[in-house]
Structure 1
């Protein structure tokens, strides 16, 4: 056990990438112990990537990239301005609402920070907001990406913990709303303290137009349900409703109706059993292509090729981490390291609330040093047996784990959102870190609420018949 963990930590301290450190530590353990055949290294790494749910990873990444180049991010931003730009600290509120909407499309915090973040930070600076405040609110709102469905970390956690990915997606809805409320309240406090006004003149027509778009989107599932109740088949009901929606969008030229339909299609389709989470990722890509090539006609073959190459690069990176973490996690189990760690934690406490506190501290610490996907793959085999033994719902624990790791993305030394925003805002990593620190308050408040009030997470999956 100490050979495996010690070599991993040593390689990390030497500055090796986390995936390389895990693969090399696993190889060192196999060579030194002699208890595991060399061939197992390759077999377990291949087995780690040979999973149907993992097919969702490249498709969700591609969908996020396509949304960024299809002009969807700009339309989402303009819609958010119409909806909340008239509030005090308006562009701060716009930043958060824009991230909520984009979260229902991309599933990753980095896509949110790199896509919407570029637009948001520039607009806020142009309206007189400090660079630090602009970066802080953008970083905090980017953490919504993997909480509000769809979510790449939920796909990995569901695969590792053998939990329904659809149930995990539903479990993230109410926590995502709670985090949004906390962040919007934080912007309001800053606005009141600094005597900020609104950034846009209140306009009933603009607000009314945005409200109409929301109503149009909500009418889609309602129309489908009414037609099915009248005896129309589900496929025909969806086709008719979609054709009517397309005709209305082309005639009235709505700003963001088709973009807002993305989370409706994904969540509705998975909830009603029309497609699995993996198939939902494909549906997101097809919808993105339709918007970019047909509806908005903003996507060129050159930009499409670039988005595809970016997706290949990101997917290769993610899957390399998954394969390396798979052999590392398997050896943790095979060497009894996971069992020893579990017994040590259970020997310290058998109270689930104390355990959740310790788990939060551990995951927060790990999230500052290890990539999100790798952290999930390593920690689930260690912590899940304790979770089940203490009677904690694995759906609830999945939300706790992912939110902790999202907060880790805002911290040095490995916080990817931190580095992305430092580059976008042209700030040093040190100044970016200081800008983000005040925004940890609403994130930690949401984390405490989600950790110690399980119904925030579990109510919706249970209401939809997917929870325990």
Structure 2
């Protein structure tokens, strides 16, 4: 009864638009107040214990690295490089936006951070070129879900820590799904742009020399994900230490090579990192306590027995799981869903023979689709609030991307090779 009251309270507070961390803490506190022989001090203990983990240091490290990159001119250089690759295609600027999201995935690790950045950088340029506001925002919002798939995604770190899954393997597993999704989205933009007459921003394909010239400025930034993956693979550093390496690398780029970072920029970057990290860590602490409550009440075990008793086929399980995750992602922020659902769903997936690394890709991709789905998709409101575009326009224009994302989801779900080839080969 106690867990039922706490769970009902949690979703009620979510619907009342109470901040996520406070909603989880309040429902957890209610559980301890209602449950017998359960001192409230355990709430504080479990919250503190949930943050006492070395792997979680990777979160502030990579947030800091991504923030520092924004003050070094990296975004401008990578945009120029992406333009040299795809500017000759129909809907050139939209194509650039998708490729930029893919490249930025190796730097920021956050889909919402990428969506916010592109809303400020790419949206005004698309408007100058005659793109409709709805299409422009839908491209930016949809492409932002590629970012968490490309290492070092923050969602991967959270899932790996909570589910006790190798973060190095997760980093490798996301590369092919991320690139595949990028190509499918570019295909969707191609057809829409052909139909509407969105022209390329270059008259012809860039020559190899032009691509090389454009890549020179972006080359050092593009090395970062290679350094991270390579260093983890050969054992030079752990995923957590890779975050610290990323900060040092960003500072070297900004101060020594590009010489665009000033002391005032460093102060602003540290402030942004503290604010972002604090909000995430508060949610993690609250989620760790609620996850402990679920485990204490044996909810994952009972749920696994219930589902396996109803569903015999792994295929049916995965189809139902995808539908459940997409719907949930419409209402709950992705990191929160990862914290709450990971301990609940991993035992179910393993019962059907689904590898935890493969399941992580399915989980992250589904929650990504949820961020661009109404009524409460976080990427929708991030993009629309910055660009002042109506949500209705975004939803109308994002439909072609739903189609290709559904195709990508089915491929990721039912062709494990896409996610598992790199982890199995290189680790």
User: 1:268 is matched with which residue?
Assistant: 230
How far apart are the structure 1 equivalents of 2:168 and 2:138? 31
User: 1:313 is matched with which residue?
Assistant: 275
Find the residue that maps to 2:147 and give its secondary structure: coil
CA contact (8 A) 2:84 2:214 kept: no
- Pair 1:439 & 2:406 matched: no
Distance 1:196 1:362, change over 3 A: same
User: 1:400 is matched with which residue?
Assistant: 362
Shift of 1:426: 1.6
Indicate the larger mover: 99-108 or 359-368. 359-368
User: 2:5 is matched with which residue?
Assistant: 3
Unaligned runs of 5+ in 2: none
User: 1:208 is matched with which residue?
Assistant: 209
How far apart are the structure 2 equivalents of 1:89 and 1:12? 39
How far apart are the structure 2 equivalents of 1:394 and 1:300? 43
Find the residue that maps to 1:146 and give its secondary structure: helix
How far apart are the structure 2 equivalents of 1:136 and 1:429? 10
User: 1:158 is matched with which residue?
Assistant: 160
- Pair 1:302 & 2:264 matched: yes
Shift of 1:164: 0.6
Shift of 1:203: 5.6
How far apart are the structure 1 equivalents of 2:307 and 2:385? 40
Indicate the larger mover: 120-129 or 191-200. 191-200
Number of matched pairs? 425
CA contact (8 A) 2:87 2:205 kept: no
How far apart are the structure 2 equivalents of 1:317 and 1:95? 28
CA contact (8 A) 2:81 2:214 kept: no
Find the residue that maps to 1:105 and give its secondary structure: coil
Equivalences for 1:343-358 in 2 at 5 Å? 343-358=305-320
Shift of 1:284: 1.2
TM-score by length of 1: 0.87
User: 1:249 is matched with which residue?
Assistant: none
CA contact (8 A) 2:163 2:342 kept: yes
CA contact (8 A) 2:287 2:336 kept: yes
User: 2:240 is matched with which residue?
Assistant: 278
Distance 1:167 1:414, change over 3 A: same
How far apart are the structure 1 equivalents of 2:279 and 2:373? 20
- Pair 1:340 & 2:302 matched: yes
TM-score by length of 2: 0.96
Q: What are the superposed Cα offsets for residues 34-74 of structure 1, whole Å, 9 maximum, x if unpaired? A: 23222211111111111111101011111111111211001
CA contact (8 A) 1:73 1:116 kept: no
How far apart are the structure 1 equivalents of 2:291 and 2:390? 35
Residue of structure 2 aligned with 1:83, choices 77, 85, 93? 85
Residue of structure 2 aligned with 1:324, choices 280, 286, 295? 286
